[in-house]
Structure 1
């Protein structure tokens, strides 16, 4: 799952614009170069369709106008199960076949009784 998590950086002044996006490294540290000075929003994103789960990550604000331009802080995320989405599962066939066989047997019993009495 780690391979599908991306780091996304947006300017705080225009959160609809993505300035940088890259895979989350395996190490606990990463470096981003060539960002303009100012405030930026950093967030983790899941790169695959969510299906029955929802990926949740909060924004971290980074101010690159201060010196040194290092931000130390947690990047946390969680995966929540989407309770409203349910997968359809096929109905079991065996119980249906047994029920239909029992019904057919009860329907045909009077005919069998008449057949035995006629002989």
Structure 2
């Protein structure tokens, strides 16, 4: 999938384990309930995408990903130590996600109180 260009693709409930999505462009794609652990998103472009309840645990890299206009409600970013490399991520978006103390956020964001709740 490296270097691909995807527009309006439905990846709902897709399972992509340990895949390389480097330099891939996703525009207006659906990742609802997608299982995307250990993915590499290096220089991947996501625009107007839906990660509702997507499982991104242990994703390897979020370098240069833009999070604007994206639904992250319920997305699981646990063990994502490079989420800090994403762009245009807001506190409101991060409050709607799942994460833990290993998730490293951009400097302008704070860990949501809900991440301390071990009943997730």
Give TM-score scaled by structure 1 length.
0.19
Structure with the greater alpha carbon radius of gyration: 1
Q: Specify which structure has the higher proportion of strand.
A: 1
Q: Specify which structure has the higher proportion of helix.
A: 1
Give TM-score scaled by structure 2 length.
0.19
Structure with bigger RCO (C-alpha 8 Å, 6+ apart): 1
